[in-house]
Structure 1
């Protein structure tokens, strides 16, 4: 409970408990949140009314608003979104890359903009350009691709994000040529594994076809011995 993080005697945060329970960055952010000097007892309030008290009318209004939003989104977006998700999961890439693409499509990657929105970070400035917010739109791009190009594009984005995380944890930043070579080699190996069983099946199913007339095929079985007995 949040209550446990408070030092009631000194009317401050229990920094020892916070530092032992959270990551250093999170502990610093929590410790920087100002506390009330009164330490009033927590209580539940209803946010849909000005006085914080629940009313049936306010609950009905919320239900109607949610219903209107659901109908509007379902009629305009459902068919397009279903087509999008089907296309996404059919892309011929390893599962971890498909899952990464799903996270990108749902905007749930821990970009700095998302972390600021979740009150984990205070600054969302992109570390690459130093100017813009590190949002999904800023970090990635949108284009029309063929199936092969789309697979390579998603793999490159996955490699960029993976290398970004490696750098943040002390790893080396890879060049664009290195990332591109890694992705192409990874996909080629993956596609080769997928195609191998198909090629073997085709070889097993091959049949001998006799030549057309007037050609003939004759099988001859003979042997030569060094001496006769």
Structure 2
């Protein structure tokens, strides 16, 4: 209670600055305060109900003995930005999965297979380069370069030493739409490679480019029409007679940590009862914004 201004019922910045670091203050300010002046109470973090029990204490002691409770957090994945952009790309799931396999060095190229016991031909099926790995197949091979040229995409790669390094550069340089095309063309190159290996059916680079981007356009049309059908199928469902329904939503912007929430209350016949919207700062996640939206919706109902 000493950290809260009793008149404005907000966090007391002056007191916080006296006892906490700026980083801790930033986190404290994201904690919403209750509207009721309830007293502080102790909560046992290791029990779902917040109560201390000898049973939960036993497991905490055991984890301490094993070094689990105080163990350092796992390191942040340096490729997190790459993963996020690949998985959020609006391409077929198998295309995104294909990119994930490339980044994880588990794509069965001939060099990749050689680490698993394969002792056959190691050369590239397109240009007879002595080693077919992902970096050569998708970046340095003349066939791949021709695909990128036909697609009008100036590719990176001259200085890349690993496929991960190349992929990171691609993600940081190109727009979302361009990244989608690149992911599709990588998939198209792999499909053409497999046709050559397993079916002895070669495709010219221009054909691979044309067929792959054509498939991408068809995928976008199908996705857009599916979204329209889905939007048309979503309808507001009225509550029981004599009841009201509160609908809420929250938005969050990662870069600024700002966001906003809105809520609307409607009667069983669909008529508008009340609504409100407000901005928020110092949010931590989309989930945080959604929770504040729920809380504000309940507060509005309580006020009415």
Q: TM-score of the superposition, structure 1-length normalised?
A: 0.50
**C-alpha spacing 1:183/1:127, structure 2 compared with 1 (3 Å):** closer
Whether the aligned pair in 2 keeps the contact of 1:112 and 1:121 (CA below 8 Å) is: no
Counterpart for residue 215 of structure 2: 186
**Aligned counterparts, 1:15-26, within 5 A:** none
Looking at secondary structure, tell me which structure has more strand per residue: 2
Which deviations, in whole Å up to 9, do the C-alpha atoms of 1:107-153 show, x marking residues without a partner?
11111111112221254232333234111111123333211111111
Say whether 1:155 aligns with 2:184: yes
Q: Give distance in 1, aligned partners of 2:106 and 2:131.
A: 16
**C-alpha spacing 1:91/1:121, structure 2 compared with 1 (3 Å):** same
Structure 1 unaligned residues grouped into runs of 5+: 1-70, 203-229
Looking at secondary structure, tell me which structure has more helix per residue: 1
Counterpart for residue 137 of structure 1: 135
Counterpart for residue 112 of structure 2: 114
Question: Which is further off, 138-147 or 84-93?
Answer: 138-147
Say whether 1:85 aligns with 2:83: yes
Counterpart for residue 124 of structure 2: 126
Q: Give distance in 1, aligned partners of 2:125 and 2:212.
A: 24
**C-alpha spacing 1:130/1:167, structure 2 compared with 1 (3 Å):** closer
Counterpart for residue 95 of structure 1: 93
Whether the aligned pair in 2 keeps the contact of 1:116 and 1:123 (CA below 8 Å) is: no
Q: TM-score of the superposition, structure 2-length normalised?
A: 0.39
Give the superposition deviation at 1:103. 0.8
Query: What is the root-mean-square deviation of aligned Cα atoms in Å?
Result: 2.5
Structure 2 unaligned residues grouped into runs of 5+: 1-71, 140-165, 233-304
Counterpart for residue 167 of structure 1: 196
Name the larger-Rg structure: 1
Counterpart for residue 252 of structure 2: none
Q: How many residues align?
A: 130
Give the superposition deviation at 1:102. 1.0
